[in-house]
Amino acid sequence: MSRIKVIPFSQNCGATVSGVQLSTLSEQQLHAVRNAFVQYGLLFFRDQSLSPEEHIQFAERCGSIVMNKFFRPVDGYPGIAEVRKEKNQKTNIGGGWHTDHSYDEVPAKGSILVARDLPVVGGDTHFANLCAAFDDLSLGLQKTLLSLRAVHSNRHLYGEGGYYSTTDLADQLSGSDSVGDAVHPMVIVHPESGRNALYVNPGHTIAIEGWSVDESKALLDYLYAHVAQEKYICKFDWQPGSVVYWDNRCTWHFAQNDYHGHARLMHRITLAGSRLSAAGHGDSLSGI
């Protein structure tokens, strides 16, 4: 059996895992993958050959599968959502910074994305590390954020009259009657690593609880610009056989939409999480 290797992908963002086939993981290898997931929150795998059945099998060894309310499922596999853009479409799914399912009362733990049909060039996915970004905020701002909660929603995206209803993806997305909102701490403690993570994102966070729209926008825009700095982000170039497993509790991502005239199809499984806990005060903060 080959030895699993985990190598940091960039300074603060993700890790590449090699020496393993996800379709035939031993218990020891699975333990190593789980540990790497907790440590890095973002794992890149190359040269995999996962059938839909094996995709589901790997996902179930990592957690419980959440059925997506809006994306079209893969025929015969309701637990796998299609992330599809056809050659003639201009809009893509996930084309801005976001965190999957932050609008749910119990947000997703992770997502496992498998490349199925790739453009010759383009279609890279960008990721950001929300733990590292929080750690570098001033102590004063960290303390302020610990006392705040934010409202997350999907109404403006998938609801009636929402963004996607006006695009060329309208026919392949559904669930406009399943939209909703959720309120979460702006800083959470990761349930496995114990690290503090900033938990807001441009795609789904619509306001700070108890603040006006303008007040919310001012602070949120500052935080978004901070997270999007080069030192916290990385870009993954998809190749046939690529798989990415990311932690939605401590990362952002967005899919680059730079391959017009070409198709791109990915298969995504989302894993159920648990209710988010607010980060504590005092010595849990960086710098103390």
Instruction: For residue range 98-120, list pLDDT tens digits in order.
Output: 999 999 999 999 999 999 999 99
Beta carbons of 208 and 149 less than 8 angstroms apart? yes
For the stretch 11-20, pLDDT in tens is 999 999 999 9
Beta carbons of 79 and 269 less than 8 angstroms apart? yes
pLDDT of 285 over the 80 cut: no
Residue 38 structure tokens: 């907790």
For residues 199-209, give the mean pLDDT.
98
Q: Which residues contact 138 (CB under 8 A, 6 or more apart)?
A: none
Write down the pLDDT at residue 3: 85
Q: Which residues contact 142 (CB under 8 A, 6 or more apart)?
A: 134, 187, 196, 285, 286, 287
Exposure string (b/e) for 195-234, b if CB count within 10 Å is 16 or more?
Answer: bbbbbbbbbbbbbbeebeeeebeebbeebbeebbeeebbb
Residue 243 structure tokens: 């798989």
For the stretch 155-203, pLDDT in tens is 999 999 999 999 999 998 988 888 999 999 999 999 999 999 999 999 9
Beta carbons of 182 and 102 less than 8 angstroms apart? yes
Length of the chain: 288
Torsion angles phi and psi, residue 194, rounded to 5: 80, 0
pLDDT of 76 over the 80 cut: yes
Distance, CA of 6 to CA of 121 (rounded, Å): 27
Question: How many Cβ atoms are within 10 Å of 85's Cβ, its own excluded?
Answer: 26
pLDDT of 246 over the 80 cut: yes
Residue 179 structure tokens: 């939209």
Which residue intervals of 147-234 are DSSP H helices?
155-158, 213-227
Q: Which residues contact 88 (CB under 8 A, 6 or more apart)?
A: 168
Torsion angles phi and psi, residue 5, rounded to 5: -125, 130
Distance, CA of 90 to CA of 235 (rounded, Å): 21
For residues 235-263, give the mean pLDDT.
98
Distance, CA of 20 to CA of 201 (rounded, Å): 32
Distance, CA of 231 to CA of 246 (rounded, Å): 18
Torsion angles phi and psi, residue 155, rounded to 5: -60, -40
Beta carbons of 17 and 43 less than 8 angstroms apart? yes
pLDDT of 30 over the 90 cut: yes
pLDDT of 288 over the 50 cut: no
**Terminal C-alpha separation, the chain:** 44
For residues 211-235, give the mean pLDDT.
98
DSSP string covering 16-67: EEES--GGG--HHHHHHHHHHHHHHSEEEE-S----HHHHHHHHHHHSPEEP
Q: Which domains does the chain show, CATH number per domain?
A: 5-284 (3.60.130.10)
